[in-house]
Structure 1
């Protein structure tokens, strides 16, 4: 493929991520090199690393979106809306939209299988979860209206959400009925938020 212009910012990043995802899903994460991705995307390996410092981030490329959603749920919520209610609304919207961050996107099954088959991707996913926990805790600690333990709340929320996501992934990969999986996903999220409301979240 002829090399295209390596400028373009978000467009270049999106193109690289799209090419990488297609190659990873087709051949498996560990079988694809960054050089192959760069060649297929029409850029240099340096450009790939400028947009994605780690190979794992080429596939797990929504961590920035997740971080922005969490921070916005705390900082941009409506007047009189507490942090827990705001996060619950965000989670519900993700489910309604079948957003990739909900784990219910129609393309999620091959994504989950690729992650499950790669120790490097699983390790990076754990690192991302830890980063998201710290980011949410920082946002909460900057909020004078939150009266609970922000660090503990963030830890429980991120771990709980991840647990719901993993169970949904397991069931989808097993071929369970999608309608039933969706209902259980919503029910588990409800139990998570109810538990947080009765535990480390501030009292109403």
Structure 2
């Protein structure tokens, strides 16, 4: 049996710590996500693509793309889609996928102004040290009229279910991760970071404060995940 690594970031989300933590989960990242999400991850990726509504010929940036599985989903639209992540381990684990990949920090994107028709970030904004700076950077690299879609864990909206979900996060999720993950301690951080994340309305306010317009959100799986969408005015 392979020995697992013990490596987790703290909630102040220092970039080197977070990158190192994701390097440690890269080997079995996609499998672990599917297990802990009970297969809902596939639906969440489909819903993200539907919200972005990409068209053939467009240029899309998929931030925090990890191994590129979300970028493959975007490519189904016929748009050119670039996977970007600051974990070299994650990019290496996804190198077999037929998608272009680049190492990039969401707080200092290595792209020219107005380079992309759309930007997505799935389950990655929560791991950025300065999410407001990251959202401004995403705005900078988006063309006028372009759009942003954030897919992120959020606050369940059904009271009884919310209690059960929080119990799962803090107790069951780390146990499940120990069975399948190459770095189970990272999923303790995952549970804690979800618990500390702003709810749907507050995140929408912060997206708008970063300069995005017409910001709306949609709950998935009873609010376990929320999609936030905004536009860059031309």
Higher strand proportion: 2
Do the two structures share a fold, i.e. TM-score over 0.5? no
Higher helix proportion: 1
Taking structure 2 as the reference length, the TM-score comes to 0.26
Considering only CA atoms, is the larger Rg found in Structure 1 or Structure 2? 1
